[in-house]
Structure 1
Amino acid sequence: MDDIDDMFSHLLGEMDHLSQSLMPAADPPDVVPASQRESTFSIGFTDLNASLYELEDNDLDALVADLRSKSTENTSGSQNQIAASAVTEEPGPAQIPPPSNAAESSEELQMDESQTKADKIKLALEKLKEAKMKKLIVKVLMSDGSCKTLMVDERQTIREVLDKLFEKTHCDCSIDWSLCETNPELQIERGFEDHENLVEPLSVWSRHSENKIYFVLRPQKYVMFTDPQLFYMWKKKTVCSSEINEQSKQLLLKEHFGGSALIVPDLEGSLYLKEDGKKVWKPRYFVLRASGMYYVPKGKTKSSSDLACFVRFEQVNIYTTTNYKQRYRAPTNFCFMLKHPCIQKESHYIKFLCCDDEHTLLLWANSIRIAKYGTVLYKNYQAAKTRASSLETLHCTARNGKFHSHSTVFTGRSTNHVEDHPHESPPDFIPPPPPPGHAQV
């Protein structure tokens, strides 16, 4: 009983410290320092000016137009004199000087284009300071080492950002494409869920954070829906994926996700838990419930009355890890972490767990996602399938249209060529190159 009292007191103390550390300051400053304010505008760049320069011209034009409209809305209730002065300060088409002559050199043209973009960036910087809506310029890394620069605001979901990337990269629009955040300091990564707003998790990154965002394929993203038998029939070890037909899979999905209440996988088993502040891992028997993870205390049974709460999922996210066998002497490298998203450095509030093999890690990581997000995850999956199907149809139509257009031009040109030069053979047909980014992503 003394040990239980000590453990309970220690737990209360930890909860109190954690709540205090996560509480906002009592008197937040009214004016955010310029250095901090600027850091919220771009992710993956040294400064805001550099991130704006990396934006494509159409994205930069859209940003300026959006900020102008917001500025107009914000000043609509002001005095006419103030509104008039604001309008006169904005450069209009009449203020752009006409070209001096038609024979202007290419060097001067490049300077004019550069100056135009510089003017747009200057205007965007001014409007960003006035805008109330939080916006981020984000550098998204690709698997081949290239990157794409996007402007996102606090309203945009991961699903919308993925659609933007589909347009920019012309990839296959698979439901497995994901946006992932990585934290090199903790050696962890997490795939964002499609319903999340991208700006929210990025806003907790520190100013000099080395965290990055990747656009990658993650086949395990919706494995709980493509292969539900792995999670809801895991106790039947003789069942293989090949033995389950599509109709049986649909019945499992309807049974566990189609009702009024979500049914969480009845998952339990032994995992290794890292002790706080030590490179020591001890086995514990864990049980998954809709409200969180529970463990069996020493000397107790697996009955619900004996289970002790290990962690609840409301305030934590699940992250997969790399190389913890070397870093923390974990029994295997198949580890995962549970932590609050605001914790960006090593802390004793982080829960480290280790699995025996990759399959066990797959079961626990995705079952925890089901318990945390519930039916929202299934809606994400359905929306992703619908969107992928529609985008693929559009891309196929566009490709067929381009091919037809090129074929028509070739036929006409080759005919004229033969008529004008009957002794020459028509040139070989060179098909149009694939859309940019298709092969790299």
Structure 2
Amino acid sequence: MLPCVKETDKMDDIDAMFSHLLGEIDHLSQSLGPAGDPAELDPASNSESTFSIGFTDLNECLNELEDNDLDALVADLGSRSALQEFTAHQQGSRAADNHSASPAGTQGSEAAAALPPPSHNESDRVVQTNEPQTKADKIKLALEKLKEAKVKKLIIKVLMSDGSSKTLMVDERQTVREVLEKLFEKTHCDCSIDWCLCETNPELDIERGFEDHERLVDPLSVWPRHSENKIYFVLKPQKYVMFTEPQLFYMWKKKKACLSGINEDAKRLLLKENFGGSALIVPDLEGILHLKEDGKKVWKPRYFMLRASGIYYVPKGKTKSTSDLACFVRFEKVNVYSTSNYKQKYKAPTNFCFMLKHPCIQKDSHYIKILCCDNEHILSLWVNSIRIAKYGNVLYKNYQAAVKRASTPQSLMYAAHKGASTHLEPGHSDSHASRISLPPNIPDVADYPYEAPPDFIPPPPPGHATV
């Protein structure tokens, strides 16, 4: 009887664990989206909303597209739908041949099926040759094609730092770097390595810069249907600070005076040691951070340590040895976000906080981890070191590609022209555009020596009488 009792206890434990798992899944699903929303349950309406980001409806976003982008969309959708029709016809022909044709005639029938079906309807030919001329006709055709084709395309509105916006059509295969190239062409700005695409979430008061290797459609597709999230095209000097100033991350324990004396050769050596080998070396960052308690506005200090796989902390009464460390979060399924005004919103000790969460979580949830730093320097150390640990050498390759793009003759020529101009053009998206470059060594008016006026009046020119 004793073995039976043990087996029964094991089954009860498994059932309890399974019930707990189901409860966690249900709680997570509730945090990802509103329950009971008919719009969320309607596949047709939801699929239509995924075609645009930042617009109220699909018609509006198509109207914002430039003519060449709209033509490319219609042509691409037309070729995809034609390919789908041809594939379906080919499969149907082969199925019919398998049932009716003899084995000897199978090769001939398959060869015939591989050709596109002949069109016997003259009206079809007329429709194919009559391409839409006006923009309204193109929009109407694009709407029809979008309903037919199962493609993952987004028409996005990207906001600039000066309040203007640009409309882009993004394909699911395009990376953030390719989208940045499009924006360089549309805005005629320089190709600095600091340009970044950022997503903002007003509900959580967070933002994150997309990495250049990411497929932009993937993170945008998880936004809720009526989301207030936005995309910005801005300059972020912190984007590649771990490569331009590597001593801040790999020599962070040294004094600031020592770090400021690092020359360019020493920086290159640091990059080679930590990113040039077969294995990536993550900064050995550690220190006290304040952790927000789940569901409370209470912050507790803990000693955290960064590792390649995630963030670990030292439990109370334990040491910093590897065997005593407890895992806080792993980086595989979470992204790091910077926050704003959390000192007022959550009573944080400072406003220098960062968040770790799954990209699908778009509202407040106990699956979100929030940590608070003492100052801005420590915040930069943790956020960018987490990016190094999460993306590894891919991040370094992104930096090298950005430097190569910024060093092209076209970009250098634009940078030189930009430096020589006054940058007073209206609507310029560069945050440094309002700066006026003055010639050097021009003395101020107060520096000129004072000269007394002459004590005589010069004679008038010949032929002019004195008044």
TM interval, shorter chain, is: 0.7 to 0.9
- 1:76 maps to 2:112: no
CA distance in 2 between partners of 1:84 and 1:210 (Å): 51
SS at match of 1:144: coil
Identity %: 72
Greater Cα radius of gyration, structure 1 or 2: 2
Shift of 1:242: 3.3
Shift of 1:64: 1.2
List gaps (5 residues or longer) in structure 1: 1-9, 25-30, 97-112, 401-432
CA distance in 2 between partners of 1:235 and 1:398 (Å): 38
Shift of 1:129: 1.9
1:22-171 alignment to 2 at 5 Å? Answer: 33-79=43-89, 88=124, 91=127, 94=130, 116-171=134-189
SS at match of 1:182: strand
- Kindly indicate whether the alpha-carbon contact (under 8 Å) linking 1:169 and 1:436 is maintained by their aligned counterparts in 2: no
The match for 2:35 is none
- Kindly indicate whether the alpha-carbon contact (under 8 Å) linking 1:228 and 1:252 is maintained by their aligned counterparts in 2: yes
Distance 1:300 1:91, change over 3 A: same
Structure 2 counterpart of 1:347, from 354, 365, 379: 365
Structure 1 counterpart of 2:210, from 189, 192, 195: 192
TM-score (norm 1): 0.78
The match for 1:257 is 275
List gaps (5 residues or longer) in structure 2: 1-15, 33-40, 90-115, 419-423, 434-467
Q: Match of 2:244, as an amino acid?
A: T
SS at match of 2:408: helix
Q: Match of 1:185, as an amino acid?
A: E
Structure 2 counterpart of 1:337, from 351, 355, 359: 355
- 1:314 maps to 2:332: yes
Q: Match of 2:223, as an amino acid?
A: W
The match for 2:346 is 328
Q: Match of 1:243, as an amino acid?
A: G
Q: Match of 2:55, as an amino acid?
A: F
Distance 1:156 1:86, change over 3 A: farther
CA distance in 2 between partners of 1:299 and 1:340 (Å): 31
Q: Match of 1:72, as an amino acid?
A: A
RMSD, aligned α-carbons: 3.1
- Kindly indicate whether the alpha-carbon contact (under 8 Å) linking 1:181 and 1:211 is maintained by their aligned counterparts in 2: yes
The match for 1:222 is 240
- Kindly indicate whether the alpha-carbon contact (under 8 Å) linking 1:173 and 1:392 is maintained by their aligned counterparts in 2: no
- Kindly indicate whether the alpha-carbon contact (under 8 Å) linking 1:170 and 1:436 is maintained by their aligned counterparts in 2: no
Shift of 1:34: 2.1
SS at match of 1:181: strand
Poorly superposed stretches of 4+, deviation over 6 Å: 10-16, 80-87, 397-400, 433-436
Shift of 1:396: 4.4
The match for 2:103 is none
TM-score (norm 2): 0.74
Shift of 1:90: 7.9
- Kindly indicate whether the alpha-carbon contact (under 8 Å) linking 2:190 and 2:414 is maintained by their aligned counterparts in 1: no
1:208-231 superposed Cα distances (whole Å, 9 cap, x missing partner) = 000000000000000000000000
Shift of 1:241: 4.5
- Kindly indicate whether the alpha-carbon contact (under 8 Å) linking 1:274 and 1:353 is maintained by their aligned counterparts in 2: yes
Distance 1:435 1:164, change over 3 A: farther
Structure 2 counterpart of 1:365, from 383, 406, 415: 383
1:287-323 superposed Cα distances (whole Å, 9 cap, x missing partner) = 0000100000001111111110000000000000000
